[in-house]
Amino acid sequence: MAEVKLINIEKEYEVGVKVVKHLNLSIKDKEFVVLVGPSGCGKSTTLRMIAGLEEISSGELYIDDKEVSQLHPKHREIAMVFQNYALYPHMTVYDNMAFGLKVKHVKKEEIKKRVFAAAKILELEDLLKKRPGEMSGGQRQRVAIGRAIVRKPKVFLFDEPLSNLDAKLRGQMRAEIAKLHKSLKTTIIYVTHDQVEAMTLGDRIAVLNKGKLEQYNTPMNLYNHPTNKFVAGFIGTPPMNFVKGKFVKEDNKLFFINENNKLKFEVYPSQDIEKQEDKKVTLGFRAETVGIKKFSKNIPFSGKIETLEILGADQYLTVSGLDKQIVSKVSAAKIYQLNDVISLNINLEKIYFFDKKTEKCINKNIFK
């Protein structure tokens, strides 16, 4: 397989309109890397530049230590799996999987060997004589993956391959793709807008926003140590809660106070209090770190239940009372009612602060 490096990659469709900006990524051999972000963030464009389907405006692209930005797609030793499967409807599964090898004039016996090996891995052996129209969406996507496998590429590229499937099939296919990566031990670059897919599949995740790389790290590091407000709000379900406010100095101590003065607590700065005084910030905390129970260090507040969602053992309560609604994840052992006024606690040890102007996480500058 191969290592992939993107060095200062940019894509400009019109003069001054860049959809990918100074992108630098280093993807290790046999690593599963996910490019994730909202629609229009440049993730699919980046994948297509790696594949050679889009011209790189500037920058360098290396696959297996070879600069390939000027190479034709067929010479890059990559295979791409598309969102819409891109199968030939008049061909059988076998012929769809074999087509690329036939074009390369691979010997018949070798083609048969590769197709049957891929069909076994993907459990397609009983479908080889069927055509795409006779199969489910999940089966067709497995055929598209099988077509990529038989080519034995150095790098696999997946462009939102599960977005056309229903929720149950997406879950099944995620598990199959993860299993496939372990068995093939190959380099995979995977594009999705679904952060759940990103968290469950990726060894590392590149979070993109408006053509710019926001953060590149392991799933848990992104979740626990977001570099800015965008990453904190994008990674995690439900999204992180945000409350606007500022730091104030009282009796030589530093406090956070929100905009409607209903939340106030002391923070513990590692720098001089004067450096933080009157700084406008956004407080962030996740749904599972605010609840009915008390933590070792609490930030108490109360509010009215506006909505509730019961999800088996857990439930999500949307509570008003601060300057915006807060989502809390609590046990479903006790059932609450709409308009109930409840007391909640935020875990002080699990909060984040983001500079209002730069939106960068400033916890490391605040806490000891």
| CA 65 from centroid of its chain's CA atoms | 27
**191, 160 contact by CB (below 8 A):** yes
Tell me what percent of the residues of the chain surpass a pLDDT of 70.
98
pLDDT tens readout for residues 70-118: 999 988 999 999 888 889 999 999 999 999 899 889 999 999 999 999 9
Domains of the chain (ranges; CATH) run 4-234 (3.40.50.300), 241-366 (2.40.50.140)
Count of C-beta atoms within a 10 Å radius of residue 94: 20
**244, 282 contact by CB (below 8 A):** yes
Backbone φ and ψ of 364, nearest 5°: -65, -20
* For residue 238, cis peptide bond before it (omega within 30 degrees of 0): yes
pLDDT tens readout for residues 321-340: 888 899 999 999 988 999 99
Is the pLDDT at 67 greater than 60? The verdict is: yes
**336, 317 contact by CB (below 8 A):** yes
pLDDT tens readout for residues 145-168: 999 999 889 999 999 988 888 888
The Cα–Cα gap between 140 and 143 comes to 5
The Cα–Cα gap between 367 and 130 comes to 62
Is the pLDDT at 349 greater than 60? The verdict is: yes
Query: The tokens of 105 are what?
Result: 């004039």
Count of C-beta atoms within a 10 Å radius of residue 227: 18
Count of C-beta atoms within a 10 Å radius of residue 357: 9
Query: The tokens of 119 are what?
Result: 């069909």
Residue 6: per-residue pLDDT: 97
Task: Tell me the average pLDDT of the chain.
Answer: 91
Kindly report which listed range (53-57, 201-205, 291-295, 341-345) carries the lowest average pLDDT score: 291-295
pLDDT tens readout for residues 167-191: 888 888 898 889 889 988 899 999 9
Backbone φ and ψ of 224, nearest 5°: -90, -25
Band of residue 32 on the pLDDT scale cut at 50, 70, 90? very high
The Cα–Cα gap between 209 and 19 comes to 10
Residue 273: per-residue pLDDT: 75
The Cα–Cα gap between 256 and 276 comes to 10
- The whole-model pTM stands at 0.90
Residue 368: per-residue pLDDT: 44
Which runs of consecutive H residues, i.e. helices, occur in the chain?
Answer: 43-51, 93-103, 108-121, 137-149, 167-184, 195-201, 219-224, 229-234, 273-276, 363-366
Residue 49: per-residue pLDDT: 96
The Cα–Cα gap between 132 and 136 comes to 8
Angle in degrees, CA 272, 273, 277, rounded to 5: 135
Residue 365: per-residue pLDDT: 56
Is the pLDDT at 364 greater than 80? The verdict is: no
